[in-house]
Structure 1
Amino acid sequence: MTDRPHQGEGRRGGAPDDPALLDLVQRRTFRFFWDLAHPASGMTPERVTVGAPPGDLVATGASGFGAMAAVIGAERGWVERGEAARRLLRKLRFLEAAESHHGIFPHWMDGRTGATIAFSPDDDGGDLVETAFLFEGLLCARQYFGGAGEVESALRAAVDRLWARAEWDWHTRGGEDVLYWHWSPSRGFAMNLPIRGWNECLVAYVLAASSPTHPIRPEAYHRGWAGGASFRNGQRYYGIELPLGPAFGGPLCFAHYSFLGLDPRGLRDRYADYAEQNRRHALINFEHCVRNPGGFAGYGADCWGLTSDDTSGGYGELSPTRDLGFIAPNAALGSFPYLPDQAMAALRTFTERLGDRIFTAFGFTSSFSEAAGWFSRDLIGIDQGQILGMIENYRSGLLWRLFMSCPEIRHGLRRLDFEMPEPAGA
């Protein structure tokens, strides 16, 4: 598999033109999921340091994004469809045998054995949000691999078995009108973290309402998710009115993780038009970096994007209200569907001016700060998923079509009173 731009697709000074550059970035990012997958299970590593081999720690949510990567790779012809299906089936068989907690998987597990690896002392059990990202990818794969052959049939059946096992309603703590993020077999709901919006977790509520076996009541969405103190907004930031979310929108991952599968175009409920919500959120983030109130070196119209990611002091939430001078490439590149011109300008900077420091054979490293002279040497699975998946949605809408074609998802969205376009061909 080559990742060089196509011949004849040149741009100024020999640089690739926009389609060729997007091909290059997607192919390299795909290699993170394909080449660095765990050799025993096919699961995706949480993070990989440049030049170091991946270990046995794998991440559930990133592995869901890895399932999306396999679909994209097969669709674009980077890998043979049958090999992508076989790899996914191996991952699914691993998940069926791995440790889960009421059908909900932990954030981290051992890629050899499937045993839970504690994320923190009280977080040694089911992580509902990571599991939602996993199923977001698995359902896309189920819809894509619809062939009659043995491998694709087995793949779909395995996804359905896992989907049926997941007890989303367990995470309502006995029927409360809200979902809780974590449950531990030894500590129960000790973390006591209700999932209230607006943040990156919308897809968890959609999946929970869509479950064929363990659905939540719609009241959990309206009273729990939509009842959070930072759900409704309506204020203006840099002259842009923001319907939902915290001040200035929060990290840009809010507009990416759930919307790898959920198609925001025409998606509305009583609270927001989600295409407009995400566009405005991204535009506020862009405007903040252009205006650069912190005076950080490198910020501008061609270098922007604040989200939860690495800093020189560790991983943390970054946004206009917590701007420490660190840009995460996935923030701008995951926003291609919302701000394509601004995202392309950032991509040029990330590959041309900064490429030798942040653009690797497996995609972009997690973040950088020109102000601090610091450039991450780590690649993070969920970051890579946002870049690969959202660029694909911008280019072809592939993941959006697949996820929104799931009959259970459409039923769940209707249960929550969403409006959405009819699927193509309906």
Structure 2
Amino acid sequence: MPEETDESLLERIAHGAFGYFVEQYNAATGLIADSSDPGDPCSIAAVGFALSCYPIGVERGWMPRAEAIARTLAALRFFANSEQSHHPDATGYKGFYRHFIDIQTGKPAWRSEVSLIDTTLLLAGMLVASVYFDGADAQEAEIRATVDALYRRMDWEWACDNQPTARQGWRPKGGFLHYGWDGYDEATILYILGLASPTHPLPANTFDAWTHTYQWEEIYGYTHLYAGPLFIHHFSQAWIDFRGIRDAFMREKKCDYAENTRRATLMQIEYARRNPHGFVGYSEKCWGLSASRGVGFQTREVERRLRHFLGYSARGAPYGPDDGTIAPCEMLASLPFTSERCLESLRHMLATFPEVLVDGRLASGFNPTLPGKGPGGWVANGHLGLDQGIVVMMIENYRTGLTWSLMKRCPYVVGGLRRAGFSGGWLSEAK
């Protein structure tokens, strides 16, 4: 039997990941569950990924356009009609939303905060929908109008709380959380969309203030803007093509954020090759430290060595934390930046640890150091919406650049990038 082609393998995995949003969906509200665990609430960021993936599903023939429109409208109508107030049971405040909400009622779940970054990822998905559904009929026009109205009611200036950078979140009783979006992280898209607001934008100096908290390092010979977990490098770039465009920081470093992600990925590969902590399975073909599920917070003796394991954590290299858990979805999220290494590693992982891929869907984490039912050792049960979303989007960006192309047509994205000081590349010709 001939070996499966790269195209066929990626199609199978992307289609399998897309199926998460078909399954973990509430038809009444349009909301998406945070995970496939029974009874889990909605993650608003997962809704953002779903809204971004529906156009991919339409273009790939996985979902009829009419169904994608209906799902998109259900979510948009829910957020448009949800309560925005100080009330502890409100879905949101000042145009932003609680991180986790009940998938049927929209009431806050898990005592979650009003989250700036998760609302931003939701907004990013809404903007994808507003560009893709450009038809003249009433439903597609409603999508565009509703997205614009939801964007306009977001008060980004309030979200700074008179601080140099945006705050991370807010609670009705405690007010703003005592920390902001400082240091390089997944908030790039937050600042860009916040600066682009047509009504209540972030102050103009917030992006510059944020970049002054960056940490530029040389690790294993790779000079780059450091962030340990891979998802930090991937999330904003799932929506925005940073190839060839630079802000003031990257102009000084003669780099761009896409190239930075390539270097960060290669640094992680080198870390896995060196394997300083002696974890089973790590190699230049098996890597991927990021936010993922884990064994659980415990200490166990494995082959006469005490190992400290984590639950859901943002793992990173080389400074940790690292407990031997690999996030296979983040390996695929690096496809647009290090495609040959990713494809080679994907095939090695599937050949060596086949239980990591079931029905075309990658696990949210596995740890070969801890013995399990197969060579992959411990393998996470269930799936996470954010993991599956990044797989769908980055495979498509690698294959066709669909989401990047859509966002290049979004005037808010173009305007936000320019206000943040980006120039060059495709941005020079954007309208």
- The answer on 1:113 being equivalent to 2:133 is no
Q: Is the 8 A contact 2:120 2:190 kept in 1?
A: yes
Q: How does 1:372-411 map to 2 (within 5 A)?
A: 372=370, 373-411=377-415
Looking at structure 2, the residues matched to 125 and 305 of structure 1 have their Cα atoms a distance apart, in angstroms, of 29
What amino acid maps onto 2:294 in structure 1? T
Q: 1:268 maps to which residue?
A: 246
Match of 1:226 among 194, 211, 215: 211
Looking at structure 2, the residues matched to 213 and 361 of structure 1 have their Cα atoms a distance apart, in angstroms, of 45
Three-state SS of the structure 2 residue aligned to 1:48 is coil
What amino acid maps onto 1:389 in structure 2? M
Q: 1:180 maps to which residue?
A: 167
Q: Is the 8 A contact 2:244 2:426 kept in 1?
A: no
Q: 1:5 maps to which residue?
A: none
- The answer on 1:89 being equivalent to 2:73 is yes
Three-state SS of the structure 1 residue aligned to 2:383 is strand
Looking at structure 1, the residues matched to 350 and 68 of structure 2 have their Cα atoms a distance apart, in angstroms, of 28
Q: How does 1:12-411 map to 2 (within 5 A)?
A: 13-49=1-37, 54-55=38-39, 57-98=41-82, 99-119=91-111, 124-173=112-161, 175-189=162-176, 191-223=177-209, 225-228=210-213, 231-233=214-216, 235-242=217-224, 244-245=225-226, 249-272=227-250, 273-313=256-296, 314-320=311-317, 321-322=319-320, 323-355=322-354, 357-361=355-359, 363-372=361-370, 373-411=377-415
Q: Is the 8 A contact 1:308 1:318 kept in 2?
A: yes
Once the two structures are TM-superposed, the CA of residue 425 in structure 1 deviates from its matched residue by 8.1
Three-state SS of the structure 2 residue aligned to 1:86 is helix
Looking at structure 1, the residues matched to 67 and 420 of structure 2 have their Cα atoms a distance apart, in angstroms, of 37
Looking at structure 2, the residues matched to 68 and 351 of structure 1 have their Cα atoms a distance apart, in angstroms, of 27
What amino acid maps onto 1:165 in structure 2? R
Once the two structures are TM-superposed, the CA of residue 182 in structure 1 deviates from its matched residue by 0.6
Q: 2:299 maps to which residue?
A: none
Looking at structure 2, the residues matched to 353 and 155 of structure 1 have their Cα atoms a distance apart, in angstroms, of 45
Deviations along 1:283-316, one digit per CA (max 9) or x if unpaired, are 1111111221222111122211111111112111
Looking at structure 2, the residues matched to 144 and 25 of structure 1 have their Cα atoms a distance apart, in angstroms, of 23
Once the two structures are TM-superposed, the CA of residue 259 in structure 1 deviates from its matched residue by 0.8
Three-state SS of the structure 2 residue aligned to 1:105 is strand
Looking at structure 1, the residues matched to 40 and 69 of structure 2 have their Cα atoms a distance apart, in angstroms, of 23
Deviations along 1:160-208, one digit per CA (max 9) or x if unpaired, are 11111111111111x322100111112111x211111201111111111
What amino acid maps onto 1:192 in structure 2? H
Looking at structure 2, the residues matched to 146 and 195 of structure 1 have their Cα atoms a distance apart, in angstroms, of 34
Once the two structures are TM-superposed, the CA of residue 69 in structure 1 deviates from its matched residue by 1.1
Q: Give me the TM-score of the superposition, normalised by structure 1.
A: 0.89
Looking at structure 1, the residues matched to 58 and 423 of structure 2 have their Cα atoms a distance apart, in angstroms, of 31
Give the 3 Å change call, closer, same or farther, for CA 352–43 of structure 1 in structure 2: farther
Looking at structure 2, the residues matched to 359 and 40 of structure 1 have their Cα atoms a distance apart, in angstroms, of 31
The unaligned stretches of length 5 or more in structure 1 are 1-12
Looking at structure 1, the residues matched to 124 and 382 of structure 2 have their Cα atoms a distance apart, in angstroms, of 25
Q: Is the 8 A contact 2:12 2:360 kept in 1?
A: no
What amino acid maps onto 1:404 in structure 2? K
Once the two structures are TM-superposed, the CA of residue 71 in structure 1 deviates from its matched residue by 1.1
- RMSD over aligned Cα atoms: 1.6
Q: Is the 8 A contact 2:132 2:406 kept in 1?
A: yes
Three-state SS of the structure 1 residue aligned to 2:42 is strand
Once the two structures are TM-superposed, the CA of residue 109 in structure 1 deviates from its matched residue by 0.5
Looking at structure 1, the residues matched to 324 and 20 of structure 2 have their Cα atoms a distance apart, in angstroms, of 26
Equivalent pairs counted in the alignment come to 395
Looking at structure 1, the residues matched to 40 and 133 of structure 2 have their Cα atoms a distance apart, in angstroms, of 28
What amino acid maps onto 1:346 in structure 2? S
What amino acid maps onto 2:70 in structure 1? R
Q: Is the 8 A contact 1:368 1:375 kept in 2?
A: yes
Q: Is the 8 A contact 2:332 2:394 kept in 1?
A: yes
Give the 3 Å change call, closer, same or farther, for CA 40–360 of structure 1 in structure 2: farther
Q: Is the 8 A contact 1:31 1:362 kept in 2?
A: no
Once the two structures are TM-superposed, the CA of residue 341 in structure 1 deviates from its matched residue by 1.0
Q: 2:88 maps to which residue?
A: none
Give the 3 Å change call, closer, same or farther, for CA 188–425 of structure 1 in structure 2: closer
Once the two structures are TM-superposed, the CA of residue 421 in structure 1 deviates from its matched residue by 2.9
Looking at structure 2, the residues matched to 31 and 38 of structure 1 have their Cα atoms a distance apart, in angstroms, of 14
Looking at structure 2, the residues matched to 301 and 176 of structure 1 have their Cα atoms a distance apart, in angstroms, of 42
Q: Is the 8 A contact 2:34 2:40 kept in 1?
A: no
Once the two structures are TM-superposed, the CA of residue 39 in structure 1 deviates from its matched residue by 3.3
Looking at structure 1, the residues matched to 52 and 351 of structure 2 have their Cα atoms a distance apart, in angstroms, of 27
